[in-house]
Amino acid sequence: MNNNEGKIIDAISKAYSDPEIKKDSEFSQSLFDYAKKISDGDDYRLVCVKLSRKINSYLMANEFKSPQTLTDLNAIVGKEVANYRGASSVSMWGSNLF
């Protein structure tokens, strides 16, 4: 497990343990499932893309109110998603340059 994966799992764990998050059992289960996917060796960057969508859905359903643990997780995941999408687009567009 690399350092980024460890940070993401740690942030997921903190959000999962938050009493406010635990009120939403479906979202809590999703956090658990995403942490397990990373632990099981799935590409953490792709998991972050899916997790980002789930967090955004949670935020919209809760009128953009969230505990600090989720805000922190969203910041970490957002950076990974931006890096992943940036790298994907560079490789995709770069291959068409020549």
What domains, with CATH codes, occur in the chain?
3-93 (1.20.1440.50)
Q: Pick from 32, 42, 27: which is nearest to 9 by CA?
A: 32
Q: According to the model, what pLDDT value does residue 83 have?
A: 87
Q: According to the model, what pLDDT value does residue 75 have?
A: 95
Within 8 A by CB and 6+ apart from 48, the residues are: 8, 77, 80, 81, 84
Percentage of the chain beyond pLDDT 70 is 88
Q: How confident is the model at residue 94 (pLDDT cuts 50, 70, 90)?
A: very low
> Helices marked H in 1-98 — which ranges?
3-17, 19-22, 25-39, 44-61, 68-94
Q: What is the pLDDT of residues 31-80, one digit of tens each?
A: 999 999 999 999 999 999 999 999 999 999 999 999 999 999 999 999 99
Q: According to the model, what pLDDT value does residue 86 have?
A: 73
Total-model pTM = 0.83
